[in-house]
Amino acid sequence: MKSAVSLPNPAAWPHLLAMLQLAKPRVLALVLFCAVSGMLLAQPGWPSLGRMLLASLGIALMAAAAAMLNCLLERSLDARMQRTACRATARGEAGRGETLRLALLLGGGGMLLLWGWVNALTAWLTLASLLAYALVYTLLLKPRTPQNIVIGGISGAMPPLLGWTAMTGEISPHALLLLLIIYVWTPPHFWALALYRRRDYARAGLPMLPLTHGAAFTTLSILLYTVLLTAVSLLPLAIDAVGLLYLLAALILDARFLFLAVLLHRQYADALARRTFRWSIWYLAGLFGAMLLDHYCLLPVT
Ligand code: HEM
Ligand SMILES: CC(C)=CCC/C(C)=C/CC/C(C)=C/COP(=O)(O)OP(=O)(O)O
């Protein structure tokens, strides 16, 4: 007897997996963690679990759609870069129509979820982030200016604000501070990678800072943004939003980031740039993790 529920043909699984990779799942995981942090920090105590799940799913679907559109629009550039040449869009395994349909399905589903079950403000802000990343950054900024990520970074910095508005329906200064932290974090995060991947970017003809202004200027820019990030990461203390636990974590995380940025500027090496990039990811996860711990067991700084 034939089963009522048929599983997808196992032969199609590798293709399905390749399509899911276009959503950049590891970036998505951190984006989602920052969005959920925004949800948890938005009020004292625990928010409604159902609302959190719906909001997380909506934001994740739209962020996945944005990443797929980015892969679709950049397929020929991706094909020229070692790091991205294996993407299904770059290899020609994922057709244009198929990728576009999947992105529209995920993005549309996410928008519907946020609009119908969360709130209109979050739906519009998430749509704005999607368009800012998939169209403004990818098509206009990335191929034109080495400041592409400084301007385009605003879309990547949105997740905690989206989480916050999903729970409260309004934009607060505290949520904007979370956005500011990610915004200032983005240049050292990306330029560290752009340094050790500069040959890739040269092959693709993209005007990334290490190519247009050289390694010394880029490492100096990383250092200056890391100093700024240190100051911005301590601002939540100034508004009494966090306590001792966060202060300790931020000091340790900032100290290592600064240490790596100084080393990188003094004596450039690809391996060190890679370590700085890796640390940027631990840094952001650690900072938001500490904010959460602090939120649920606040130790005041006296
Ligand atoms: C405009 C802003 C951003 C740019 C240009 C950027 C660029 C990149 C690039 C090119 C990579 C690929 C590294 C690789 O393939 O090894 C990467 C990795 C990563 N990014 Fe970003 N990023 C941005 C914002 C963000 C944001 C906002 C988050 C999270 C909140 C994030 C989290 C990550 C993570 C977790 C990885 C590691 C992925 C892996 O291990 O495969 N990035 N980023
Ligand atoms: C809807 C919503 C919340 C959107 C979030 C947008 C977001 C997380 C943007 C981050 C930007 C990002 C991962 C850029 C990767 O750079 P790239 O695209 O230049 O990297 P690549 O060379 O690997 O394609």
Q: Are residues 37 and 151 in the same domain?
A: yes
Tally of structural domains, the chain: 2
Question: What is the extent of the structural domain holding 279?
Answer: 172-302
Task: Looking at the structure, tell me whether residues 114 and 218 fall in a common domain.
Answer: no
Residue that terminates a domain, selected from 169, 201, 224? 169
> Residue 21: is its pLDDT beyond 60?
yes
Whole-prediction pTM value? 0.95
Are 191 and 102 members of one domain? no
Q: Which atom of ligand 1 is nearest to the CA of 194?
A: 10
CA-nearest residue for atom 18, ligand 2, is 70
**4 falls within a domain:** no
185-200 pLDDT, tens digit each: 999 999 999 999 999 9
Question: Do 158 and 71 fall into the same domain?
Answer: yes
CA of 133 to the centre of ligand 2 (A): 6
Question: Do 206 and 89 belong together in one domain?
Answer: no
Angle, vertex CA 7, rays to CA 3 and CA 9, nearest 5:
120
Q: Is residue 249 predicted with pLDDT exceeding 60?
A: yes
The reported pLDDT for the residue numbered 298 is 67
The domain that contains 199 carries what CATH number? 1.20.120
Query: Is 2 contained in some domain?
Result: no
Cα(167) to centroid(ligand 2), Å: 24
pLDDT at residue 1, rounded to an integer: 43
Q: Is residue 220 part of a domain?
A: yes
* Average pLDDT for the chain: 95
Q: How far is the CA of 295 from the centre of ligand 1 (A)?
A: 26
263 and 280 housed in the same domain: yes
- Give one DSSP letter per residue of 109-166, joined into a string: HHHHHIIIII-HHHHHHHHHHHHIIIIIIIIIITTT-TTHHHHHHHHHT-HHHHHHHH
Pocket test for ligand 2, best of 37, 136, 155 (most atoms within 8 A of CB): 155
Distance 68 CA to ligand 2 centre (A): 10
In a domain, 1, yes or no: no
**204-215 average pLDDT score:** 98
